[in-house]
Amino acid sequence: MTLQSTSTLAGLLHKSPFKPIQKHMRTVAQCVSLLEPLFAALYAKDYAEVKKIAGQIDELETIADKMKSTFRLNMPKTLFLPVDRRDMLKLLHDQDTLADKAEEIGQILISRDMEVPEEIQELLNSLLRNTLDICTEAKLIVEQLDELVEVGFGGRENNKVFKMIEQLRKSEHEIDQILHTIRRTLFDLEESLPPVSTMFWYKIISLLGNMSDIAENMSDRLLLFLSK
């Protein structure tokens, strides 16, 4: 895998503080998207492939973390934009946490040879698919930031982003329902599953749920941008 350079971030900051935020989010999205082939390898019990993909997730998480550090070091104390510096840094932190959660899932799956209980596989697929979708929705909203600046955080572009945020919140609610169902199903299976495996499945499910919560937090922060 080719590692992306973080050396251009300082230059991007002089153009727009949103450019490196967007660049960082694209790397985070790459990292998160690898969860799909990671679970596909898990279903196939191809543990060598699981290890390989988990390693790729780890690499991208490291790149995203370095980008975050570079942004913080180069971000000016004062921004001539209708956006609070602290809100920008919180958004960056949320983005980075998405990559952290993806990495944590990968690390769990290489720490032991996990098998997906047949009874939760369909629900797990649904949870994973919806989690990837909501992270993509968050990325698409972040990609609109430059356009919002150009129109002064108002007008038609503003309304477009409001609708995107509204859709993301609906997606998060749907994920909450899936989480409730899959946790209840896993609870009913507890006596038939190895206790340690059950514990790790609860953890993986919670991490996927955390990712949808983080995406919603991102939408809340972006809503602050529109409200100022």
Whether the predicted pLDDT of 73 surpasses 90: no
Minimum mean pLDDT range among 34-38, 56-60, 142-146, 182-186: 142-146
Q: What structural domains does the chain harbor? A: 9-227 (1.20.58.220)
pLDDT at 155: 59
Minimum mean pLDDT range among 83-87, 103-107, 113-117: 83-87
Mean pLDDT of 124-141: 96
Q: Which amino acid is at 93?
A: H
pLDDT at 222: 81
- The answer to whether 62 touches 36, Cβ cutoff 8 Å, is no
Minimum mean pLDDT range among 11-20, 45-54, 181-190: 11-20
**Tens-digit pLDDT profile for residues 171-192:** 999 999 999 999 999 999 999 9
pLDDT at 3: 44
Residue that wins the pLDDT comparison between 163 and 99: 99
Other beta carbons within 10 Å of 223: 15
Residue that wins the pLDDT comparison between 9 and 197: 197
Rounded to whole angstroms, the Cα distance separating 43 from 138 reads 27
Contacts of 82 (CB under 8 A, 6+ apart): 152, 153, 225, 228
| Cα 18-20-24 angle, rounded to 5 deg | 115
DSSP characters over the chain: -PPPP-TTHHHHHHH-THHHHHHHHHHHHHHHHTHHHHHHHHHTT-HHHHHHHHHHHHHHHHHHHHHHHHHHHH--S--SSSS-HHHHHHHHHHHHHHHHHHHHHHHHHHHS-----HHHHHHHHHHHHHHHHHHHHHHHHHTTHHHHHHTTS-HHHHHHHHHHHHHHHHHHHHHHHHHHHHHHHHHHHGGGS-HHHHHHHHHHHHHHHHHHHHHHHHHHHHHHHHH-
Determine what percent of the chain is predicted with pLDDT higher than 70: 82
Whether the predicted pLDDT of 5 surpasses 50: no
CA distances from 57 to 22, 30, 106 (A): 19, 8, 7
Question: In which band, very low, low, confident or very high, does the pLDDT at 226 lie, cut at 50, 70 and 90?
Answer: low
pLDDT at 149: 61
Whether the predicted pLDDT of 128 surpasses 70: yes
Mean pLDDT of the chain: 87
How far is the first Cα of the chain from the last one, in angstroms, to the nearest whole number?
A: 41
Residue in the block written with tokens 């939760």: 120
Whether the predicted pLDDT of 224 surpasses 80: no
Rounded to whole angstroms, the Cα distance separating 124 from 107 reads 18
Other beta carbons within 10 Å of 150: 11
Determine what percent of the chain is predicted with pLDDT higher than 90: 66
pLDDT at 145: 80
Q: What is the pTM of this model?
A: 0.87
Mean pLDDT of 51-65: 98
